[in-house]
């Protein structure tokens, strides 16, 4: 009998810790936005590009007009070689805010693509093979 009371008491204590009030901060979109921004920035600094892409996409879901998130997502896509999505995100970031930082990133991106295409045409299809 004593064990049953102890188990019920522990169960009630457990349920009190699982109440909605304790976890409501996780459901707060501003909190999620802040955490995803921090994690996205950290992932990019550590060259964890797929994690960064995941985080910046989460930021964009929460704040679709966040031009910085679109720029950072473009940088992450560019870093993994997904140039189509990178260009799309750069253009969207510029559409949302035509600032000089994003312009410079996009210009550097276009120059890199042009340079890459010029090297491919000169070196042929076996350019990645080292001899």
CATH number at residue 56: 1.25.40.10
DSSP string across 20-84: HHHHHHHH-HHHHHHHHHHHHHHHHHTT-HHHHHHHHHHHHHH-TT-HHHHHHHHHHHHHHT-HH
Residue 121: alpha-carbon gap to chain centroid: 33
Range of the domain at 80: 29-121
DSSP string across 100-114: HHHHHHHHHHHHHHH
Q: Of 34 and 118, which is predicted with more confidence? A: 34
In a domain, 64, yes or no: yes
Q: What is the dihedral of CA 43, 46, 48, 53, to 10 degrees?
A: 30
Whether pLDDT at 19 is above 70: no
The per-residue pLDDT for range 97-108, each reduced to its tens digit, is: 999 999 999 999
Q: Which residues contact 31 (CB under 8 A, 6 or more apart)?
A: 25
pLDDT category at 124 given cuts 50, 70, 90 is: very low
Look at residue 95 in the predicted model and tell me its pLDDT: 97
Percent of the chain at pLDDT above 90?
65
The per-residue pLDDT for range 30-74, each reduced to its tens digit, is: 999 999 999 999 999 999 999 999 999 999 999 999 999 999 999
- Look up residue 16 and give its two tokens: 């009190």
In a domain, 130, yes or no: no
In a domain, 98, yes or no: yes
Q: Kindly report the average pLDDT of the chain as a whole number.
A: 83
Q: How many domains does the chain have?
A: 1
Whether pLDDT at 15 is above 80: no
In a domain, 62, yes or no: yes
Cβ neighbours, 10 Å, residue 112 = 13
In a domain, 105, yes or no: yes
In a domain, 5, yes or no: no
Whether pLDDT at 109 is above 80: yes
In a domain, 60, yes or no: yes
Look at residue 125 in the predicted model and tell me its pLDDT: 43
In a domain, 42, yes or no: yes
Helix 29-45 / helix 49-62 crossing angle, nearest 10 deg:
160
């Amino acid at each position: 009998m004593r064990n049953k009371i102890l188990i019920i008491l522990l169960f009630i204590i457990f349920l009190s810790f699982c109440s909605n009030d304790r976890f409501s901060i996780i459901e707060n979109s501003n909190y999620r936005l802040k955490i995803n921004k921090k994690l996205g920035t950290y992932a990019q600094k550590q060259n964890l590009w797929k994690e960064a892409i995941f985080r910046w996409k989460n930021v964009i879901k929460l704040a679709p007009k966040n031009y910085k998130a679109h720029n950072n997502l473009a940088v992450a896509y560019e870093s993994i070689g997904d140039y189509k999505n990178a260009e799309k995100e750069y253009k969207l970031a510029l559409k949302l805010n035509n600032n000089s930082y994003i312009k410079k990133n996009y210009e550097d991106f276009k120059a890199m693509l042009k340079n890459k295409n010029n090297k491919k045409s000169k070196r042929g299809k076996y350019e990645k093979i080292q001899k």
